[in-house]
Structure 1
Amino acid sequence: MDLSHALKTRYATKAYDATRRIPEETVKQLLEALRYSPSSVNAQPWHFIVADDEAGKQRLAKATPADSEVVYNRKKILEASHVILLCSRDELPKSYLTEVLNKEEQDGRYATPADREGMEAARAGYVHQHLEAGDVAHWNQKQVYLAQGFLLLSAGLLGVDATPIEGFYPDILVEEFGFQEKGLTPQVIVSLGYHAEKDSNAKRPKSRLAPDVVFSKA
């Protein structure tokens, strides 16, 4: 599938075919799309919870209780093939930044110790700016939404339907997965699979503002 076609045909799926499962090779590619997503100064301030079986989906579905105003999202979680919870890191401590730096060195990004030291100082500088501004958690959240965009586009290119879900109770998942102790905050759930015939959104034409409305020349 080419990029233009994927952009024009992907949409937020409203109902899934619970009998269809995403092939494992395709799942691997989707997870790689998340892992290789860009982030500011390559901080990778995220963690992803993958529900690939009924038990996992039931855990995530707890955040859409049957008697709640977000129950409309429950089936999108339970009937999808796979569901991913995207979390942001609350902080960027030195120990974590060192872990990132060590992995970069292991992957061959630094030709000399001076290169490593330069990157360490530059990244620390950006983190310090956000520490001073008191918005590290918000900065990290924005990076997670970059990853979500990569996941949604990759799903479209691979012929997989997807639904980004913000209608859930984060506090339930914080308790369910012990996120407070782990320094993580749940941001968005993405359901993945193949739409059902009853999906009301499948055949609606995509609508976007005209180019002259959203673009202007500098």
Structure 2
Amino acid sequence: MDIARIATTRHTCKAYDPSRKVPAEQVEQLKTLLRYAPSSVNSQPWHFFIAETDAAKARIARSTPEGSPYAANLPKVKNASHVVVLCARTDVDDAHVAALLAQEEKDGRFPTPEGKEMQNKGRNFYVGLHRSDPQDMQAWTQKQVYLALGTLLLGAATLGIDATPIEGFAPRALDEELGLAEKGLKSVVLVALGYRSAEDFNAQLPKSRLAAESVISAL
């Protein structure tokens, strides 16, 4: 597989064909990518909502309504095959940390009791660095969500699925629509998934990035 070719040919889709749907088996692969995305100290401080029905996408579209600054994203949300809402936990509390440790033990990550204790101490130390400041905790958890975002975008391109990362939406409206505050979550970014239509002008344009020597240096 030529990953560099995928990176240089994938693009942000600007218009979707509403008649084309991502096959269920590929959606399952994308779910796996989200679940197994990397995160700091394996904190996994996220939740992902996936909309595929018109009714579900309409709920998300309430955060990109006509007449709003985000209206340009409304057709993407409505016409995409699937839309993913990537959310961050508002706190990495003791219950979540305990659930992580229990899952790791179930999955066989601790050959010795000492290994389990080291993992627990190490993760609690780093989580504790962020707990004292809610704004810092929010910034930290959102960084982990963006790791999952990158994983999803590259994975979708590998499967030949078009994607659009969307920060242009009203997070408060979406959080209220999905009842996220009650779940201890906050919406961070959306991703539309599907297949481009003929109106996707971006597919015809060459990609543009700064020269390698201006962003990459050897030490």
TM-score by length of 1: 0.98
Query: Secondary structure of 2:204's match?
Result: coil
User: Whole-Å Cα distance in 1 between the matches of residues 218 and 133 of structure 2?
Assistant: 32
Are the counterparts in 2 of residues 160 and 194 from structure 1 also a CA contact under 8 Å? yes
CA shift digits 1:132-155 (9 cap, x unpaired): 455111100000000000000001
Alignment of 1:46-85 (within 5 A): 46-85=46-85
Contact 1:2 1:157 in 2 (8 A): no
The share of aligned pairs that are identical, in percent, is 49
SS at match of 1:58: helix
Q: In 2, distance between residues paired with 1:178 and 1:23?
A: 29
Residues 1:164 and 2:169 aligned together: no
Residue 149 of structure 2: aligned partner: 148
- The CA deviation at 1:126 is 0.3
Distance 1:171 1:142 in 2: 19
The within-5 A match list for 1:12-23 is 12-23=12-23
Q: Which moved more, 1:129-138 or 1:152-161?
A: 129-138
1:211 deviation in Å?
1.0
Query: What letter is aligned with 1:25?
Result: E
TM-score by length of 2: 0.97
Partners of 1:122 and 1:138 in 2: CA distance: 20
Alpha-carbon offset, residue 174 of structure 1 = 1.2
2:99 equivalent to 1:99: yes
Q: How many residues align?
A: 218
Q: Which amino acid is the alignment partner of residue 123 of structure 1?
A: R
Structure 1: stretches of 5+ with no match in the other structure: none
Partner of 1:213: 214
State the partner residue of 1:122: 122
Q: CA deviation at 1:183?
A: 1.0
How much has 1:5 moved relative to structure 2? 1.6
Amino acid at match of 1:113: P
State the 1:207 CA deviation.
0.6
- Secondary structure, in 3 states, of the residue corresponding to 1:201? helix
| Deviation at residue 74 of structure 1 after TM alignment | 0.4
User: Given residue 66 of structure 2, which amino acid in structure 1 is its aligned partner?
Assistant: A
